[in-house]
Amino acid sequence: MALTVADDGSVHAAGDPTWPVSRGALCIKGWSAPETLAHPERLTTPLVRDGEGRLVAATWEVALARIVDGVRAVQAKHGRDAVGVFGGGSLTNEKAYLLGKFARVALGTSNIDYNGRFCMSSAAAAGARAFGIDRGLPFPVSDLEHSDAILLVGANVAETMPPIMQYFEAQRARGGALLVVDPRRSTTAAGATMHLQLTPGSDAALANGILHVLIRDGLIDEHYLRDRTEGFEDVRALSAGYWPERVERVTGIREADIVRAARLLGEAKRPMILTARGAEQQSQGVGNVLAFIDIALVLGAVGKPSAGYGCLTGQGNGQGGREHGQKCDQLPGYRRIDDPAARAHLAKVWNVPEIELPGAGRSAYEMLDALGTEGGVQALIVLGSNVVVSSPDAANIERRLRALELLVVVDFFLSETAALADVVLPSAQWAEEGGTMTNLEGRVILREAAMKPPAGVRTDLEILGALGQVLAPEGRGAGFAFASPEAVFEELRWATAGGIADYAGISYEKIRAQKGVFWPCPSDEHAGTPRLFAERFPTPSGRARLHAISHLSPAEEPDDEYPLYLTTGRVLAQYQSGTQTRRTKKLLSLAPEPFVEVHPATARHFGLVAGERAVLTTRRGAAVFRVRATDTIRRDTIFAPFHWGGAQSANRLTNPALDPVSRMPEFKVCAVRISSA
């Protein structure tokens, strides 16, 4: 996106036609984003809670001292792990890296995790298991255009990633097939070749049904399976039990459609499978993704141009945010924190004894759920997430946040989470500071600063630098004194050298010259790696691994008391927890309040009137939405967006059941009751 700052200081955004990914396309949230820069509600001074419980303006000195004293008091009373850090996938690579270092070196805590646990973690874990590496798309996004059959699972690209819709449109225009798997006939599904309208939570059954047909009808690539993979025999045995009639009963998709979908994929020269949150945000999210990866592998598609498997990464820096150490089990460069070689390397880069580096901490929801309890975190620093709105079982999380001894939130606005804090620090926004992000293709890009932050506001890097220098143990403070984002990036390069996500050969200059550099890029001479897996997989055997995945029911299923499925997700005009977009006039006028999508027959059955309010109730709580009657949704399912808080919060309803491997919550399926308000 290109920004221009006019003489009166107003900022205008436009698409950049020379940019290889968006090719000039800009989402409505992009061109309306400048409104948040000079917004009247923007925070421009730190806030501190006073003796009467009010948040009042304070100087930076007072606010930072309150944090330092609070953190030290909690550490003295409960130990180092009692201080927690919660980050986000919208942070630049430099911030994500420094946040991880801040937690491990300055605070010495194992408890750091981030909102990517709610977003990317199931696909990430599946990619690592199957291919030995997790890079959202292992190929450039332009490959989509040349695929002749794409299976798009649980992604509503037309509303959530409008700038890349052009690749799907070009693919269709070339005669390619697009198959969309979604319980709703979403905007994306409405324009597809086939819409597979499955029961929420039945993705693994569908994948196994497709595998069954592919194997039965001889549409698999035996040579590829023999030469490049392992584990196929288990998949063959398991999928034999998923004959299409049985899969129809579980998924609600007609047998003939399952067969047709399998044939479209099996007969394609360049089949591609893409997943997003629909299949991933489930208590068997990792299994779901592995089962879809199996399809790509039996077709021999992974590693071939314009074919294979990819995950459509969500947030602005969803990819880079999961590589550099803000995950509880991770060190920079996508290294494991329990790997002795990784620890030794980081101990050297950070100039600390290896023994002082903490081990793995709690995952996002588990950390939040234990706030203020015996053995849990007592002081929490949140930077880049609005957990009161975006966490599952949000009323529980709000209670847990209130039980903390110290809550610090760094944000540009008084988000619902910031409103509960003891100290709020105002930070700079995207246009006001430079830094790198890694996009869904693994391309590291540079966002240059276009303007200065308003008076009174500091950047996240300055805030972490200042706190790190004071809170770090004797002699370690110097490790937090960075003159610029580029200086942080230079250390990040070294920290990632030799790791899976190796940035050692990437510099700001090289990114500028090449319009982005794909990792891994291990040396200055290396041009970067746009395509992975052409010859081998980075697993110990060099082969990709198939996994036999049995379909399991979601953690909660409809019953007499809660007779419907509730699924949640996004709408075009709102972003995430809404902190930014609910403050943007144009967007608010497009989506002023949340609605619940209900099939007209279901609405009649429960006595609901379109346009009136309805109460949704689950085992966690209740929330109110306006009824939108639409035959685009299954009769047994209702859908609500999660962008609002308070009485309109979808997350007061959602089930915090976690995937056992990725610890991803089941945002996409729970049992619900609906009645008119």
**For binding to ligand MGD (CB under 6 A), which residues are involved?**
88-91, 115, 118-119, 153-156, 159-161, 181-184, 186, 200-201, 203, 276-279, 281, 314-315, 383-386, 389-390, 410-413, 415, 427, 460, 567-570, 572, 574-577, 579-580, 639, 642, 650-651, 654, 667-669
The set of residues, in sequence order, having a beta carbon less than 8 Å from that of 353 and lying 6+ positions away, is 347
CB of residue 433 to ligand MGD, shortest distance in Å:
8
Look at residues 445, 448, 434 and name the one whose alpha carbon lies nearest to residue 517. Answer: 445
CB of residue 659 to Mo ion, shortest distance in Å:
15
CB of residue 510 to Mo ion, shortest distance in Å:
29
Burial of 344 (0-12, 13-18, 19+ CB in 10 A): exposed
Compare residues 110 and 637 and give the one whose CB is closer to ligand MGD. 637
Burial 119-147 (b: 16+ CB within 10 A, else e): bbbbbbbbbbbbbbbbbbbbbbbbbbbbb
The CA distances from residue 517 to 20, 270, 299, 335, in Å, are 12, 25, 30, 20
- Which residue shows structure tokens 């409103």? 419
Which of Mo ion, ligand MGD, none does 156 bind, CB closer than 5 to 8 A by kind? ligand MGD
Which of ligand MGD, Mo ion, none does 668 bind, CB closer than 5 to 8 A by kind? ligand MGD
Return the amino acid letter for 175.
G
CB of residue 150 to ligand MGD, shortest distance in Å:
14
Compare residues 271 and 314 and give the one whose CB is closer to Mo ion. 314
461/484 Cα distance (integer angstroms): 8
Q: Which of 119, 367, 397, 638 binds Mo ion (CB under 5 A)?
A: 119
Residues in contact with Mo ion, counted by CB under 5 A, come to a total of 3
Compare residues 322 and 668 and give the one whose CB is closer to ligand MGD. 668
Burial 11-33 (b: 16+ CB within 10 A, else e): bebebbeebebbeebbbebbebb
The CB-nearest residue to ligand MGD is 314
Considering just the CA atoms, what is the radius of gyration of the chain in Å? 24
CB of residue 19 to ligand MGD, shortest distance in Å:
18
Residues 315-334 that bind Mo ion (CB under 5 A): 315
Return the amino acid letter for 573.
A
CB of residue 281 to Mo ion, shortest distance in Å:
9
Compare residues 182 and 502 and give the one whose CB is closer to ligand MGD. 182
Look at residues 367, 308, 452 and name the one whose alpha carbon lies nearest to residue 82. Answer: 367
- Secondary structure E strands in 6-111: 11-14, 47-49, 55-57, 83-87
CB of residue 327 to Mo ion, shortest distance in Å:
14
Look at residues 605, 639, 645 and name the one whose alpha carbon lies nearest to residue 621. Answer: 645
Compare residues 485 and 520 and give the one whose CB is closer to ligand MGD. 485
CB of residue 649 to Mo ion, shortest distance in Å:
17
56 pairs with which residues across the strands?
A: 48
Compare residues 153 and 357 and give the one whose CB is closer to ligand MGD. 153
Burial 566-598 (b: 16+ CB within 10 A, else e): bbbbbbbbbbbbbbbbbbbeebeeebeebbbbb
Compare residues 310 and 434 and give the one whose CB is closer to Mo ion. 310
Compare residues 521 and 616 and give the one whose CB is closer to ligand MGD. 616
Does 124 bind Mo ion (CB under 5 A)? Our answer is no
Burial of 177 (0-12, 13-18, 19+ CB in 10 A): buried
Compare residues 519 and 644 and give the one whose CB is closer to ligand MGD. 644
Compare residues 134 and 203 and give the one whose CB is closer to ligand MGD. 203
Look at residues 675, 551, 571, 556 and name the one whose alpha carbon lies nearest to residue 625. Answer: 675
Which of ligand MGD, Mo ion, none does 479 bind, CB closer than 5 to 8 A by kind? none
Residues counted in the chain: 677
SS3 of 223, please?
Answer: helix
Does 314 bind Mo ion (CB under 5 A)? Our answer is yes
Compare residues 314 and 453 and give the one whose CB is closer to Mo ion. 314
Residues 533-552 that bind Mo ion (CB under 5 A): none
* DSSP β-ladder status, 47-49 and 423-426: antiparallel
CB of residue 112 to ligand MGD, shortest distance in Å:
15
| Cβ–Cβ under 8 Å, residues 52 and 79 | no
CB of residue 398 to Mo ion, shortest distance in Å:
21
115/415 Cα distance (integer angstroms): 15
Secondary-structure breakdown of the chain: helix, strand, coil percentages, each rounded to the nearest 5: 35, 20, 45
Does 105 bind Mo ion (CB under 5 A)? Our answer is no
CB of residue 417 to ligand MGD, shortest distance in Å:
7
Which of ligand MGD, Mo ion, none does 64 bind, CB closer than 5 to 8 A by kind? none
Using CB under 5 A, which of the segments 116-124, 236-244, 453-461, 480-488 binds Mo ion? 116-124
CB of residue 673 to ligand MGD, shortest distance in Å:
17
Cβ neighbours of 313 (radius 10 Å): 29
CB of residue 298 to ligand MGD, shortest distance in Å:
20
Compare residues 49 and 668 and give the one whose CB is closer to ligand MGD. 668
305/324 Cα distance (integer angstroms): 28
Using CB under 5 A, which of the segments 45-53, 94-102, 313-321, 633-641 binds Mo ion? 313-321
Which of ligand MGD, Mo ion, none does 71 bind, CB closer than 5 to 8 A by kind? none
Which of Mo ion, ligand MGD, none does 171 bind, CB closer than 5 to 8 A by kind? none
Site residues (vs Mo ion, CB under 5 A): 119, 314-315
